[in-house]
């Protein structure tokens, strides 16, 4: 079983819609969760991080964490064509001194 699994893509939504990206993790010892955005040919860029159960909002982005279900999600409201990218979910198991385990990413396309 992989450490981090993301819902298979690609995901395609119209401009203005809500895009929902999902991620599950296998290790209950995971403490911190990160969402990175990666444009084609570019390096990952941190969008949000979450440590506590519940929701965390930052502008159009909302991260949700449910540790009981080992589930993390990212909602993008009012999606824009510029949001088109691959979204990587990552977790930190704490015991591994900061090492991040990444999922393989979900490719999102927002069409005008």
Partner 1 sequence: EAGVAQSPRYKIIEKRQSVAFWCNPISGHATLYWYQQILGQGPKLLIQFQNNGVVDDSQLPKDRFSAERLKGVDSTLKIQPAKLEDSAVYLCASSLEFQGGHNEQFFGPGTRLTVL
With b for 16 or more beta-carbon neighbours within 10 A and e for fewer, the 49-85 pattern comes to ebeeeeeeeeeebbbbbebeebebbbbbeebeeebbb
User: Phi and psi for 36 in degrees, rounded to 5?
Assistant: -115, 145
CB of 61 to partner 1, least distance (A): 15
Among 84, 105, 108, 110, binds partner 1 (CB under 8 A): 105
Other C-beta atoms lying within 10 Å of the C-beta of residue 111: 11
34 binds partner 1 (CB under 8 A): yes
80 binds partner 1 (CB under 8 A): no
35 binds partner 1 (CB under 8 A): no
The stretch among 12-20, 65-73, 75-83, 88-96 that binds partner 1 (CB under 8 A) is 88-96
By the criterion CB under 8 A, which residues form the site for partner 1? 4, 31-32, 34, 36, 42-46, 49, 51, 88, 90, 92, 94, 96-100, 102-105
């Amino acid at each position: 079983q992989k450490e981090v699994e993301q819902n298979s893509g690609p995901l395609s939504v119209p401009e203005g819609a809500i895009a929902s990206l999902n991620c599950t993790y296998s290790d209950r010892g995971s403490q911190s969760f990160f969402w990175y955005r990666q444009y084609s040919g570019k390096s990952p860029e941190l969008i949000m991080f979450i440590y506590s159960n519940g929701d965390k909002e930052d502008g159009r982005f909302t991260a949700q964490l449910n540790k009981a279900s080992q589930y993390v999600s990212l909602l993008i409201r009012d999606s824009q064509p510029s949001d088109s990218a691959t979204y990587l979910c990552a977790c930190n198991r704490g015991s591994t001194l900061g090492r991040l385990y990444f999922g393989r990413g979900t490719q999102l396309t927002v069409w005008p």
